[in-house]
Amino acid sequence: MNYQDQLKALHKQAQAQTAARRAAEAQAKQQAAQEAEVNFSELMKDVTPIKNTNQYVAPASKKAIKPRQQADDLGEENYFYVGEGVQLEIPATFSKNGQGANDIKRLQNGHYEVVADVDLHGYTQEEAQQVLNEFIEFVKRRGVCGEIIHGSGLGSSGYTPVL
């Protein structure tokens, strides 16, 4: 056997050893990955979830909303008038005749489901007056909770409220 044949044999032997070592490392890595894999549901089987009792969730009614029995004649007292240029300090909350302070708190805490809403952004004062009157009549007729979305005048000239 000459020198070149010995060198080729050693080279083949070294390649075989390297391939065997790499295969052993890959197998060890795969086995370690399988051992490290965690079954989350198995680990959490004895855990009970925490219940959040701070928020009231209104039960969903499956019945259709029935309109209230009322006369259809609409007198002047049924309309809400938005005055021109009235600069009064408006309270943050209001209840008619001082009634319903608890209702206001319950409304703020989410006990009443908002069934309808109206957005007055982009309306002129006259259009907003008409839309607001129709919305108030709609909510009163059905006896449900409604939400009125209005602006603070940031889009108007002089940055003052128009309504």
pLDDT (0 to 100) of residue 22:
95
CA distance 119 to 125: 13
135: pLDDT strictly greater than 80? yes
8 A C-beta contact, residue 121 and residue 151: yes
pLDDT (0 to 100) of residue 101:
75
Within 37-124, residue ranges assigned H as helices are 40-43, 101-108
Domain assignment of residue 56, yes or no = no
Residue range 103-127, pLDDT digits in tens: 778 877 888 888 888 888 878 888 8
CA distance 161 to 135: 20
Residues 32 and 88 grouped into a single domain: no
Q: Spell out the residues 6+ positions from residue 55 whose beta carbon is closer than 8 angstroms to its own.
A: 110
pLDDT (0 to 100) of residue 69:
59
Domain assignment of residue 52, yes or no = no
Residues 86 and 129 grouped into a single domain: yes
CA distance 18 to 24: 10
Residues 83 and 146 grouped into a single domain: yes
Residue range 59-106, pLDDT digits in tens: 887 877 776 655 555 555 555 556 565 555 556 666 666 667 787 788
- The mean pLDDT value of the chain amounts to 78
pLDDT (0 to 100) of residue 33:
83
CA distance 46 to 15: 52
Q: Which domain holds residue 9?
A: 3-43
Domain assignment of residue 57, yes or no = no
Indicate the pTM of the whole model. 0.39
Residues 96 and 151 grouped into a single domain: yes
pLDDT (0 to 100) of residue 98:
64
Residues 28 and 80 grouped into a single domain: no
Q: How many domains, the chain?
A: 2
Closest among 80, 87, 79, 81 to 153, alpha carbons compared: 87
Reading the block at residue 26, the tokens are: 């890959």
Residues 154 and 80 grouped into a single domain: yes
Residues 102 and 146 grouped into a single domain: yes
Domain assignment of residue 121, yes or no = yes
160: pLDDT strictly greater than 90? no
Residues 87 and 33 grouped into a single domain: no
Residues 91 and 150 grouped into a single domain: yes
Residue type at position 52:
N
Q: Which residue has the higher pLDDT, 76 or 27?
A: 27
Residues 139 and 86 grouped into a single domain: yes
Residues 137 and 94 grouped into a single domain: yes
pLDDT (0 to 100) of residue 70:
59
* Per-residue pLDDT band at 15 (split at 50, 70, 90): very high
163: pLDDT strictly greater than 60? no
8 A C-beta contact, residue 56 and residue 119: no
8 A C-beta contact, residue 105 and residue 136: no
pLDDT (0 to 100) of residue 74:
53
Residues 102 and 34 grouped into a single domain: no
pLDDT (0 to 100) of residue 154:
62
Domain assignment of residue 21, yes or no = yes
Domain assignment of residue 54, yes or no = no
